[in-house]
Amino acid sequence: MTDTVDALSSILKRLRLSAGLFTEASYCGTWAVDTSGQRMATFHLVQSGDSWLQLEEQVPRRLRPGDFVLFPRDAKHLITSSEQLPDSVIVNEEPAFDPELPLTQMLCGYFEFRSKMVWPILDNLPDALVIDLQQTALGESHALVQLLISEAMNTLPGRSAVLDLLVEVLFVHALRSHMASGVSGGLLRLFAEPKLGAALSQLHADPGRDWSVASLADTAQMSRASFSQKFRDAVNDTPMNYLGKWRMQVAIDALTSTDRSVAQIADDVGYGSEAAFRHAFKKIVGETPGTIRRKHNAASLEGY
């Protein structure tokens, strides 16, 4: 496993990704599907047949079997049976089956990021990320798609749990494919650059270290000016601001998954005093460490 993959893994874990399916549907005739308005990232995986992606102020895009469409920011959209928007159709209603008409099958689902932190990895993705997972250079994606489709069609025990897990893996494969395409921006672009990716991996692995722009630049084997400029160009933030946000995400995880004291967590993420940590936490997160912990504990109690 390379350093860049480790860096991506560390961020995905902190985002607290969960996933699932809305529907597994078959469409024929004239139809339209819209999963926007869910306040979460949604996706469509075309199993068979053709369809069209309709985005506001964009030319319709044809989708074929194996195409995976991700909407990172819940963009308004339609998936339709034809290039032209249908005049009269009930959105999200499956038409009556007609064996004489071409059939399109799709899996529609969601990705939910339970972390309260918004990371540039999502902000720099396009409104709709379209990837042909069956033709991607990452050959294992094809096997994943086939496994996902096969699992969706069976009725074996544990089917729902397996589907949710496979969909989570599908999200990672989609990010990998986007990175491999060479058109990714933001933080994903940094991961694709070996020197910058190596520095990010070490920053993520050891957020409590006494990092500086100079030490990060040394890790990347770059000059301080070049490292800072490339970092800012990619994520629209400075390395030290990014470090501060990453430390707070690590702290949030500790507050909501361990019983470590605030003072211990402050030391873990590189703050010399609890007071300095509390000040930085409130400035970056907008709430105090105690408030985050109390809210989590209250939500956990409600789940019982």
Which one of 166, 184, 202 terminates a domain? 184
Spatial contact of 132 and 70, defined as CB atoms under 8 Å apart: no
The whole-number pLDDT of residue 5 equals: 46
The per-residue pLDDT for 304 is 53
Pairing between β-strand 41-48 and β-strand 67-71 as defined by DSSP bridges: antiparallel
CA distance 21 to 217: 42
pLDDT for residue 136: 53
Number of structural domains in the chain: 2
Indicate if 177 and 103 belong to the same structural domain: yes
Same domain, 133 and 277: no
Tokens representing residue 240 in the block = 């030290």
What is the rounded distance in angstroms from the CA atom of residue 33 to the CA atom of residue 252?
37
Instruction: Give the pLDDT of the chain (304 residues) as one tens digit per residue.
Output: 444 446 777 777 766 777 777 778 888 888 888 888 877 888 898 988 989 999 988 999 999 888 889 898 888 999 999 898 777 667 777 777 788 888 999 888 888 776 655 566 777 788 888 887 666 554 567 778 778 878 877 888 988 888 888 888 888 888 877 777 776 667 777 777 788 888 888 898 899 999 999 999 999 999 999 999 988 887 788 999 999 999 998 999 899 989 999 999 999 999 999 999 999 999 999 999 999 999 988 877 765 5
Q: How many CB atoms lie within 10 A of CB 54?
A: 20
Among 152, 184, 216, where does a domain finish? 184
- Model-level pTM greater than 0.75? no
Quote the Cα angle for 120-194-182, to 5°: 60
pLDDT of residue 88: 66
Residue 171 shares a structural domain with residue 152: yes
Q: How far is Cα 79 from Cα 55, in angstroms, rounded to an integer? A: 9
Residue 24's closest CA among 113, 150, 168, 157? 150
214 and 276 assigned to the same domain: yes
Range of the domain at 285: 193-302
∠ Cα 218 187 219 (to 5°) = 10
DSSP-H helix ranges across 33-139: 120-123
